[in-house]
Amino acid sequence: MLILAADTSLPIFSVALLRDRLLAGAVAMEGKSSRNEKLLPAVDWLLTESGIDRREVDLFAVTRGPGSFTGVRIGLATIQGLALALGKPICAMSTHEAIALGEGDSEKIAVFDDAGRGEFYVSRFEGHREVEPPHLANLPQLPRK
């Protein structure tokens, strides 16, 4: 199975290709104010460099936040548009869930990222199961060991 995945919710956005759960290629770049201008060219570049035609993609995946509201909208709209045009399924998942799944077999995982203005988006996972959904917290409220 070939999956094209994108995360546009964070200041550094990324696009990746996974073939049978193995990373086949990826690109990451600063996108704070220009995701809308960079996302499709990044997808095209990654597919071209990997020698893959977009019709070969079996599943499109995208993060749905938390994170930049504009970034999330751009990612969802772009990936949904590609999937719809090609008649392929789409999967949207929490940005924090995607990060936690990448942490191997860790028992307990806390994921947090900068929400601006001294606040953070925080989620907690146990055995890759979300036990505390994304919420806003300030520095004194962040999970400690």
Give the domain ranges of the chain. 2-93, 105-141
What are 29-32's contacts with CB under 8 Å, separation 24+? 31/71, 32/68
Instruction: Tell me the pLDDT tens digit for each residue of 70-120.
Output: 999 999 999 999 999 999 999 999 999 988 887 777 788 989 888 888 899
Handedness of CA 37, 93, 108, 67 (dihedral sign): positive
- In 3D space, the residue among 126, 103, 122, 119 whose CA is nearest the CA of residue 111 turns out to be 122
Q: What is the pLDDT of residues 121-140, one digit of tens each?
A: 999 999 888 999 999 988 77
The pLDDT of residue 145 is 60
Q: Token match 């947090």: residue?
A: 112
pLDDT band at 141 (very low <50, low <70, confident <90, very high): low
pLDDT confidence of residue 35? 79
Average of per-residue pLDDT across 28-44: 87
Question: Which CATH code is given to the segment(s) 2-93?
Answer: 3.30.420.40
d(CA 30, CA 8): 10
